[in-house]
């Protein structure tokens, strides 16, 4: 068993590194978060999850109070920025504006979903 132990440790390390390289672990998008905070859009959290999904969450966002047209325009602008901050293709994006803290209460948030189809962003109506 002693001779097998270094091999098992090496295998565990290789599995962890392999999963990380495959995109199984979420990747925080610090530059995008900083950019969104600097623009005054709220307290930003941005992640790439899986291999090809970007999730942006903005707590305490003034955008929450915008008109629906302005919310959609701001969301599209954020989606374009998000695509510029990732180094691999993205298939979909979720952007959520919260009135205050991030919660799942639909009365205090606006969520926008985009898919990337043929290189273009298309908003999904929920």
pTM recorded for the entire structure? 0.78
Domain that holds residue 80: 26-124
Rounded average pLDDT over 112-118: 91
For residue 93, being part of any structural domain is answered with yes
For residue 19, being part of any structural domain is answered with no
Rounded average pLDDT over 88-92: 90
Residues 6 or more apart in contact with residue 110 via CB below 8 angstroms: 63, 64, 71, 96, 97
Encoding tokens for residue 24? Answer: 């199984």
For residue 86, being part of any structural domain is answered with yes
How much of the chain is in helix, strand and coil states, percent to nearest 5? 40, 30, 30
Query: Using CA atoms, how far apart are residues 110 and 7, in angstroms rounded to an integer?
Result: 50
Q: What is the pLDDT of residues 99-113, one digit of tens each?
A: 887 766 777 888 999
For residue 105, being part of any structural domain is answered with yes
Domain with residue 49: its CATH number is: 3.30.300
Count of structural domains within the chain:
1
């Amino acid at each position: 068993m002693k001779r097998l132990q270094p091999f098992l440790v090496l295998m565990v390390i290789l599995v962890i590194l392999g999963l990380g390289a495959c995109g199984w672990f979420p990747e925080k998008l610090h530059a995008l978060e900083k950019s969104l905070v600097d623009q005054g859009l709220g307290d930003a959290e941005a992640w790439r999850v899986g291999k090809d999904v970007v999730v942006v969450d903005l707590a305490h966002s003034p955008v929450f109070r915008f008109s629906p047209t302005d919310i959609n325009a701001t969301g599209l602008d954020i989606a374009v920025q998000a695509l510029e901050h990732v180094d691999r293709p993205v298939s979909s994006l979720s952007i959520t504006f919260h009135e205050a803290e991030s919660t799942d209460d639909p009365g205090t948030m606006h969520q926008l979903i985009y898919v990337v189809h043929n290189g273009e962003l298309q908003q999904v109506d929920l």
